[in-house]
A = this chain, B = another copy of it.
Amino acid sequence: AYDAGYSNWVENQLLAASNQIRKPKIAKGTRDFMPYQMAIRQKAFNIITDVFKRHGAVTIDTPVFELKETLTGKYGEDSKLIYDLADQGGEILSLRYDLTVPFARFCATYGIGTIKRYHISRVYRRDNPATNRGRFREFYQCDFDIAGHYGLMLPDSEVLKILTEILDELEIGRYEVKLNHRKLLDGILEVAGVPATKFRTICSSIDKLDKEPWSVVKTEMVEEKGISADVADRIGKYVCLKDTPMKLLTLLTTSEEYKSLNENSSAKTALDEFKVLFQYLSALGAVDKIMFDLSLARGLDYYTGVIYEAVFTESNLTGSIAGGGRYDNLVGMFNPSGRQVPAVGVSIGIERIFTIMEDKFKQTDVRTTETQVLVASAGSNMAEERMRLCAELWGKKVKAEMLYSVNPKMQEQIEYAIEQKIPFMVTIGENEVRDGVVQLKEVASKKQDTIARSVLAEEIFKRLQTLE
């Protein structure tokens, strides 16, 4: 009886607790955005979108969820991070993991053979969130891709140019774009004597070289992945190479030491492509921002050519801020005819960039509204008069606000204008209404003039221009 009583008591306590209102929470790894954060975020999006548009891209949108089968088999091991919707009867759906696979599905669905598009939207990963380092479960990606059968390396070079333009214009500090080629990695592994079945797993060891020294990676290759120390050393001879593009390409193509690489057809294709790419990057003025880095492997399955990744080099934020490459076989995976549409693109992970920008801009410095004028009143019962004036201004596209009090105090109205950084304030009282005028004050300088109401909007626009 005692036990039953106790367990009843526990149950009642739990019930009471669950009926109590708690501070509402949001899903792990997600976040809300405050107005000042949205203002900073909008700055970043505008810069990125401007660059995309400057290069002639259209934009598209796709649903936030796809049929699960669309995503299956595209992400290798990371597939376990895909969010599934509950089966509520009907289709089996998942939240999109990136924007690249939906883009490929889009091209196949509508039989699109050539497109240059950008897409800025949210993607979802059930990853271990590290929100303080800018890693979330819901985050924006800003993607730019060029699909179509085009001249060798012409789209590839423009995508890299776009990446450097964006990172330069965001002004978030020094960065480095690492460049490699899937076929060059394949060639290196072949030449080193790695069996083809182990390419993928050895690549994932190589990918750790940005965090671990060669000795650690070598041990993993030998002890966990089961290749001989000799083979590992032959790999090591290559993947520790990193230099400016032309210098490293010259070394690889002319030095006797790397002769066998040039005799491998896969590697030879990559080196020939790089020769063209580096010429183009020079013409585009972007080659100086790029490092040829043989340790870059990138995780995703679908890359088939050039690959790249951008990292910060002057902040304590580690990890990639952008990545991309060529994927010539992905659209074909969705095409009933099997028709391939070669494509190359870049994906910019805005969350880390946003974290840096948030540190840069102080919250108090950011305006969260664009209000140009506060419509104020002196004296009582002026609410309708303020409304009439607001409506006149809104009709002329002036951004105007008034306080939501029937009889606001003058001091209160002045304080609101100052606090909200509203540049102008117009005040009306009974006399002003009678005379068809207003008192127009520049809030910062406190300079005030009597202006005819009929020309108020024009006067505000004129003065706003001189303020800027």
Contacts and interface: CB of A to CB of B under 8 A. Distances in A.
Contact of A91 (B27, B150, B161, B282): B27
A334 B38 contact: no
A106 B21 contact: no
Contacts of A384: 279-280, 282-283
Given A33-B60, A56-B370, 18 more contacts: A21-B338, A23-B108, A26-B66, A27-B93, A28-B91, A32-B62, A32-B110, A53-B370, A54-B398, A54-B399, A56-B400, A64-B138, A83-B86, A84-B85, A85-B85, A280-B384, A280-B387, A283-B384
Copies of this chain, whole number:
2
A213 interface: no
A407 to B, nearest CB: 8
Contacts of A62: 26, 32-33
A106 B23 CA distance: 10
Contact of A369 (B58, B109, B333, B401): B58
Interface in A384-403: 384-385, 387-388, 390-391, 394-395, 397-401
A56 B371 contact: yes
A397 B54 contact: yes
A383 B83 contact: no
B32 A106 contact: yes
Interface residues of A, number: 97
A151 interface: yes
Nearest to A117: B35
13 contacts: A23-B336, A24-B109, A26-B66, A27-B93, A34-B110, A35-B59, A38-B59, A53-B399, A57-B369, A151-B383, A154-B406, A283-B383, A283-B388
Most chain B beta-carbon contacts within 10 A, residue among A70, A93, A398: A93
Interface in A31-73: 31-35, 38, 50, 53-67, 70
Given A54-B400, A61-B38, A150-B405, A335 B21 contact: yes
Contact of A63 (B32, B150, B338, B398): B32
Given A64-B64, A84-B86, A383-B154, A109 B58 contact: no
